[in-house]
Structure formats: C-alpha cells, structure tokens
Structure 1
Amino acid sequence: MSGHLAARPPTVAVISATPASVEPARTALAEGFPEASVWNLLDDRLLSDAEAAGGLTPALSDRMLSLIGYAVHGGADAVLLSCSLYGPVLEQARREHGLPMQSSDQELFAEFSRRRFGSVLLLGHLAPAVQDSVNRLKRLLSATERAERTEVTGHTASGAAMAAAHQDLDALETSLAEAATPYLKEVDAVALGMFSLSPASAGVERALGLPVLSAPLLAARALRERFAAEAGDSRGGPR
C-alpha cells in the first residue's frame, strides 16, 4: 500500500444482498477489524433475483463484479461480501483488482475443517444458497482429506428470512432451532451460512446444546489478516 493509504484508516467496502446483513457485518468489523472504516453497498435484489433464477447466473455474477468494481474505483482498500451465494465471484475480482477480498463463509468453512466435526448441519433461508454452501464446504473438506469423515447436510429454515428482515431475534432463533431439531441426533455442529442469521447464533446454541458457528466475525478477522499481509507485501511501493 502507498504511504498516504497507511496514514488513514483502511476503507472496507461491505457488499450486501439483503439489508439484514448490513448490521451483522458492521458489528463483526467493529470487533474483528476495528481500525477499518466501513462503507456499505447494498443491492437488495441480488438474493431474490438469484432465487428466481435458481442460483448464481453469469448475469448476476457480472452484476456483483460491477459492484466490486464500483467499490474499488470509489476508494475501497478491501472488500467483504456478506452474501455466501456470491463468494465464487471473488476469484475473478481478485485477479482484476488486486485488493484484499473476503467472502462471507470462506473462513467459517476453514474453521469447520480445523475443528474436525464428524457431521455438520448448514442452515440458511434460501435454497440455492444453502445448496451452494453445502457443495463448497464439501469441496473444501475433500481438499483437506476430511470428506470421508465429515457429513454435510443443508436445510432451509422456514420463516428465517422474514424474521431476519424484521430484526425479530426471538422469531429468528425459533425458526433456526426448529429447523435443526430433527437433526440433533445426527450432527455435531450447526453452521449459520448467512450473515443475516448470525445474530441468533448464541440463542440457537443454547436451545440445541450443540456448537453453532456463524460467519461474520470469522470473516472480519480473516480480512484484517489478509489486509495486513498484503499491505506488508506491498510496503514501499504503490498498490
């Protein structure tokens, strides 16, 4: 990074696909990347359009790439995506822009690999996003030779999207706990695969008696580490 950038707080652009993800991302960055200045960008049709299309399409990927480009050209020093479905877009974005970037659940998945649970239930409120997350977690575990010992199941929680949108924490906790209850004898841990679900993690953990991991704080800390490493690599020259 150049000297003038090092003299001011780094600007982290958080790109969200639902308003319910904005505050969890802000809270996580305040704890996990406290020196960052947060810039929120929201396209609140990214999820509904993906649901209507049955998942991530080339046109939607291009739309996210445009948002990332807007953030970069607007002065962002790092980018955090708060929507798990759009994480695969980051590989191309990193090649194009060369900035530290973090997907919402990349570090969450790494944490599951480190903790070596025998079975994981991944909860979400959008079926294409849940299936995408399950597939990517399985690929990660396979790459680390954990696939044969870890079962990954995905399930959508009815009512979770509405509860998150209305910031109704009680309803959100109830929706997620009820969705997980049929799997209690089969799983060792629960993953909340969307930022918007993360405020319920502690309550759901109490209700289920199982470890419940959520993504925002892990992502914020990972982005801070990535930013520090890349800033160190480029010290003494322009970005």
Structure 2
Amino acid sequence: MSGHRADQPPTVAVISALPASLEPARTALTEGFPEASVWNLLDDRLLSDAEAADGLTPALSDRMLSLISYAVHGGADAVLLTCSLYGPVLEQARREHGLPMLSSDEELFAEVSRRRFGSVLLLGHLAPAVQDSVNRLKRVLSSTERGERTEVTGHTASGAAMAAAHEDLDALEKSLTAAATPYLKEVDAVILGMFSLSPAGAGMEKALGLPVLSAPLLAARVLREKVAAKDGASQGGPR
C-alpha cells in the first residue's frame, strides 16, 4: 500500500476496548501526532469478554484482527490499539497488512527498559490484563542487556475501573495512589498499564514522589515517526 496523499492528513485508526480510553488517546495524538486525523473504532465488550474468558482467546484475537482489517480497508494510514491485552494480536496483523501499527504499551515498555529502574510497579484494573502486561514487560526486559535486572510487580487498583469509566479524575488518582502507596519503599517507578488510567499520571507523581509512566503520548510520538518513515520510503524508494 502507498502512503497517504500529501495534501491530506494521515488517518490513524484508534481501536479501543473501553470508552474511557478514547479521550486519553485523542489527547495524546493531539500533542504527539497533531497532523493526524483520528478515527475511533470501539468494541466495548472486548475487555469484558476477555475477562469472562480469563484471558485472550483465539476467537477474541480473530475479532480484533477483523477490526484491524476493517480499519485498513477503510483507509487508515496507521493503527493504534489502546487495550494492552490485545497487543499480541499485532504480530499477525503486521504480517497481513503493510501499515504502521502499534500496541498500547510497546513504547512504554521500551521506555521502562531504557530507564533501567531497579524495580517497578505495574497497575491496572483487571487481573488478567495486569498479569498479561507484567509477563510481556518481563519478556521485553529480559531481551535487553540490563533490563533483566528490573523487578516487575503487578497489582490491581480497586475502584479504578469505575472511576475511569465515569471520567472521575479525582477518584481515579485516589484509587491508583492508594494501590501504589504500600509499594513506595520497594519500587523506583509506577507504570500505568492501560490508556484509561493515564489521566491520573501527573497527580500520582505529585502524591507519590515517584516517576509515573503511561503509554498514550509515547505511543503517539512513535506512531508519528513510523508513518513519516513509511511515507519517506514510499516516496523515495523503488516502485
């Protein structure tokens, strides 16, 4: 597939499993990829169905692949997934489609690896998603020279899902801060493993006195780089 037309903004299809992820993604793209035209695709049962199934199943993976194909054939120039649990699906999607694609936490995990923390706490609001994120972060860290020295602990934050769903920032910050507080003496940073939790990052940093890393802005900036690189290759490479 060729790049988008030079006189049109690139279309980024943002595929979400929670309505609460839409605004964090939009805000991040506005800052990190301002020229992009955002196309939101929402299946608000993707996460609840995965929770009921105790994780990602082949049927759910196929459902996400169908959404990605819909975005590609609908004219998207890039795809961003905001649900961390579905990140593994991108490996197959990238083989099938020639577009820049990014899972929610790929660049977040890369940043954790670059920062070389001694220990991190990863927070989420669903146990299967937290465990999946912890496992994948550990794999990323183990593939780097010094990242494997970083210890990773995962924890669910009671009340965070409800607060995020109602866009109650105060309640979200309190829930996540309360979940992190028992670990203050044990960790060097807190990782927010879901897009829907990211609005609480700044408030948590002030409350905890620790770095709090979240995914949306990191993802937006890297996706912009990937789209620019693909456009450059399409315009300057052999046809």
Report the TM range for the smaller structure's normalisation.
Answer: over 0.9
User: Equivalences for 1:10-29 in 2 at 5 Å?
Assistant: 10-29=10-29
Structure 1 window deviating more from structure 2 (169-178 vs 1-10): it is 1-10
Task: Specify every segment of 5 or more residues in structure 1 that has no aligned partner in the other structure, as ranges.
Answer: none
How far did 1:236 drift? 5.0
Take 1:79 and 1:3, find their aligned partners in 2: how far apart are those partners?
14
Take 2:227 and 2:2, find their aligned partners in 1: how far apart are those partners?
13
Structure 1 window deviating more from structure 2 (5-14 vs 146-155): it is 146-155
The one-letter amino acid of 1:206's match is K
Q: 1:78 to 1:157 in 2, by over 3 A?
A: same
- The sequence identity of aligned pairs, in percent, is 87
How far did 1:235 drift? 1.6
How far did 1:145 drift? 2.6
| Equivalence for 2:154 | 154
Is residue 50–residue 57 contact of structure 1 (8 Å, CA) maintained in 2? yes
Take 1:48 and 1:122, find their aligned partners in 2: how far apart are those partners?
20
SS of alignment partner, residue 232 of structure 2: helix
| Equivalence for 1:131 | 131
User: Equivalences for 1:1-239 in 2 at 5 Å?
Assistant: 2=2, 5-235=5-235
How far did 1:148 drift? 4.1
Is residue 2–residue 236 contact of structure 1 (8 Å, CA) maintained in 2? no
How far did 1:238 drift? 9.8
Take 2:166 and 2:223, find their aligned partners in 1: how far apart are those partners?
28
The one-letter amino acid of 2:207's match is A
Q: 1:29 to 1:48 in 2, by over 3 A?
A: same
Q: Deviations over 1:125-146 (max 9, x none)?
A: 0111111110111001100033
The one-letter amino acid of 1:114's match is R
Q: Deviations over 1:84-111 (max 9, x none)?
A: 0001111111110110001100000000
How far did 1:232 drift? 1.3
TM-score (norm 1): 0.97
The one-letter amino acid of 1:191's match is I
Q: 1:147 to 1:3 in 2, by over 3 A?
A: closer
Is residue 11–residue 76 contact of structure 1 (8 Å, CA) maintained in 2? yes
The one-letter amino acid of 1:60's match is L
How far did 1:231 drift? 1.5
**4+ long deviations beyond 3 Å:** 1-4, 236-239
The one-letter amino acid of 2:196's match is S
SS of alignment partner, residue 235 of structure 2: coil
Is residue 83–residue 194 contact of structure 1 (8 Å, CA) maintained in 2? yes
TM-score (norm 2): 0.97
CA RMSD of aligned residues (A): 1.5
SS of alignment partner, residue 6 of structure 1: coil
Aligned residues: 239
How far did 1:121 drift? 0.2
Take 1:214 and 1:163, find their aligned partners in 2: how far apart are those partners?
17
Is residue 124–residue 155 contact of structure 2 (8 Å, CA) maintained in 1? yes
